[in-house]
Amino acid sequence: MITRCKPLLGTFVEISVDQGARQTAIDYAFKAIEQIQGLMGFHNPSSELNYINRYAHHKAVDIHPWTAQVLHTAKEVNRYSRGLFNCGIGHRLVAAGLLPRHIDFTNHSLGGIEDICFLTPELITSSRPVCLDLGGIAKGFAVDMAVKILVSEGVSAGIVNAGGDLRVFGDTPTPIHIRNPKNPVELLKIGSIQNAALATSCLYFAKRDQQASHLINPLALEESEIHVDSTDSYSILAKECVYADALTKVLAISKQSNHPCFAKFSAQAIRIAL
């Protein structure tokens, strides 16, 4: 295996492919992730995502087919999780200092992903102002897209790991470790996976770096319920990383390993409790 690593999507993205694969295949996969970062990144004020946040409640916005795919998946998971997953919580992360403030939303009653309406497959509008943050779900999507590109470039086996959102493809089972939430230095071998994705959500790095919890409960009624606090580690095993990432939020907020939404997406929950 050859592994390369680049800083993208705010984290470290590793791509491993079998020895015989061409270097250009990895370059194309990284290029796609870079493009997704340019489209759906919150940090970049001129991303398509920030354009949506600024204008979708005023007018119809023409979007890239990849952004459309992510928003479509986000709506789907929102529906089946009965609102536990909602990427319309960007303003909460801005308020907590976890994301930059590009738009002033004060005096606005903000909606969520449920307010996004598709007029055509790539034309959207919003019934209320929204502050979407696609951080996690776009990362999962980027991993899937990178895998798709590697496969189409003829790579027979490999791994894409975007800071814990990982997907394995090819004929060989690959051993996977998850960090022990009690002591993140320690790695727990959870077994091997093959042609599957695993995403993990946990707060140990946030706590270490003295940051507010990035796990936001979109259904919170009280101020104190907004930031979910937990010492557990929440992982989801699924076919595609975009679902795996989105569903970690459902697991972390509901704390139910058998939430009906997991079966709907053929996903399995792994909760490491202390």
- Shortest Cβ 180–other proteins spacing (Å): 9
Residue 67 as a binder of other proteins (CB under 8 A): the answer is no
- Shortest Cβ 168–other proteins spacing (Å): 7
Residue 177 as a binder of other proteins (CB under 8 A): the answer is yes
User: Mask: binding to other proteins, 203-222, rule CB under 8 A, as x and -?
Assistant: xxxx-xx-------------
- Shortest Cβ 12–other proteins spacing (Å): 6
In SS3 terms, 207-249 reads as: HHCCCCCCCECCCCCCHHHCECCCCCEEEEEECCHHHHHHHHH
The residue (of 111 and 140) whose beta carbon lies closer to other proteins is 140
The residue (of 10 and 83) whose beta carbon lies closer to other proteins is 10
**Of 163, 195, 228, 268, which lies in the binding site for other proteins, with binding defined by CB under 8 A?**
163
User: Mask: binding to other proteins, 118-137, rule CB under 8 A, as x and -?
Assistant: --------------------
**Of 16, 53, 86, 217, which lies in the binding site for other proteins, with binding defined by CB under 8 A?**
16
- Shortest Cβ 35–other proteins spacing (Å): 14
**Of 4, 54, 239, 264, which lies in the binding site for other proteins, with binding defined by CB under 8 A?**
4
Phi-psi region of 216 (alpha: psi -120 to 50; beta: other; left: phi over 0): beta
The residue (of 126 and 200) whose beta carbon lies closer to other proteins is 200
The CA R_g of the chain, rounded to the nearest whole Å, is 18
At residue 174, φ and ψ (nearest 5 deg) are -115, 125
Tokens of 144: 């899937």
Q: Write the DSSP assignment of 142-179 as a string of letters.
A: HHHHHHHHHHHTT--SEEEEETTEEEEESSS-EEEEEE
Q: Cα 240 to the chain's mean position, in Å?
A: 11
Residue 194 as a binder of other proteins (CB under 8 A): the answer is no
- Shortest Cβ 140–other proteins spacing (Å): 11
Tell me whether residue 243 is exposed, middle or buried, using C-beta atoms within 10 angstroms of its C-beta: 0 to 12, 13 to 18, 19 or more: buried
The CA–CA distances, whole Å, from 233 to 156, 159, 162, 274 equal 31, 22, 17, 9
The residue (of 183 and 266) whose beta carbon lies closer to other proteins is 183
| Contact by Cβ (8 Å): 111, 83 | no
- Shortest Cβ 132–other proteins spacing (Å): 18
| Contact by Cβ (8 Å): 70, 118 | no
**Of 86, 165, 259, 261, which lies in the binding site for other proteins, with binding defined by CB under 8 A?**
165
At residue 120, φ and ψ (nearest 5 deg) are -135, 175
- Shortest Cβ 145–other proteins spacing (Å): 18
One-letter amino acid of 269 = A
Secondary structure letter of residue 43 according to DSSP: S
- Shortest Cβ 197–other proteins spacing (Å): 10
Residues that bind other proteins (CB under 8 A): 1, 3-7, 10-12, 14, 16, 23, 27, 139, 159, 161, 163-166, 168, 174-179, 184-187, 190, 198-206, 208-209, 233, 235
